């Protein structure tokens, strides 16, 4: 009885956000595509806004692709787009984490700019369509960033599932290894 009181239950390994995926894992493509497509959209929007030669802090905002913009928002869009393209190039967990972080920032930006509509502090010239665009892009980036990392029913070959269930993953690996040995002897 005394030994049971001293025995600690096995510690579950905590999954860190910066753990690396295998280089060729199919989740890597999802993270890269999400970062790349969103980055390109933001860069194109920013360039179109700068081509119009609108004022840098013009709160009236010019219309570009159905969204209101000014020089500040255009430059900010290009910078964020370039960061997302860098995330696409690096890939793996960096792209996933970058997608999640920017997703949260876009949603927060939507709420902040929603509160600033029709005020003198609306220095990014946001309109309601910009707020909705921020929400959509934020949710899209969060989806791409969390895909395959956050779920209650991850498949057992998922590296995040294996990291969260190391004992069961090892049992399944041993079971598969025994099954392959049995198949090699047959024939």
For the stretch 134-167, pLDDT in tens is 999 999 888 887 776 666 566 666 666 666 667 7
For the stretch 69-119, pLDDT in tens is 777 888 888 999 999 889 888 877 787 888 889 999 999 999 998 998 888
Our CA dihedral for 101, 102, 105, 111, rounded to 10 degrees, sits at -130
For the stretch 39-77, pLDDT in tens is 898 899 888 888 877 766 666 666 777 777 777 888 888
pTM for the model stands at: 0.67
| 134 contacts: CB under 8 Å, gap ≥ 6 | 106, 107, 109, 110, 113
* H or E element in which residue 26 lies: helix 26-51
The Cα–Cα gap between 106 and 51 comes to: 24
Task: Find which of 22-26, 33-37, 62-66 is predicted with most confidence, using mean pLDDT.
Answer: 33-37
């Amino acid at each position: 009885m005394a030994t049971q009181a001293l025995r600690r239950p096995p510690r579950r390994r905590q999954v860190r956000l910066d753990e690396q995926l295998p280089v060729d894992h199919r989740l890597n493509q999802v993270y890269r595509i999400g970062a790349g497509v969103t980055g390109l959209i933001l860069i194109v929007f920013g360039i179109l806004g700068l081509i119009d030669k609108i004022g840098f802090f013009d709160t009236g905002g010019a219309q570009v692709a159905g969204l209101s913009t000014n020089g500040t928002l255009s430059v900010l869009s290009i910078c964020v787009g370039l960061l997302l393209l860098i995330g696409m190039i690096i890939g793996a967990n960096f792209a996933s984490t970058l997608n999640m972080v920017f997703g949260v920032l876009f949603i927060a930006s939507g709420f902040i700019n929603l509160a600033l509509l029709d005020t003198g502090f609306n220095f990014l010239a946001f309109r309601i369509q910009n707020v909705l665009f921020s929400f959509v892009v934020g949710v899209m980036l969060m989806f791409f960033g969390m895909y395959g990392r956050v779920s209650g029913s991850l498949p057992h070959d998922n590296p995040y599932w294996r990291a969260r269930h190391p004992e069961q993953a090892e049992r399944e690996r041993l079971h598969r290894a025994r099954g392959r040995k049995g198949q090699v002897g047959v024939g």
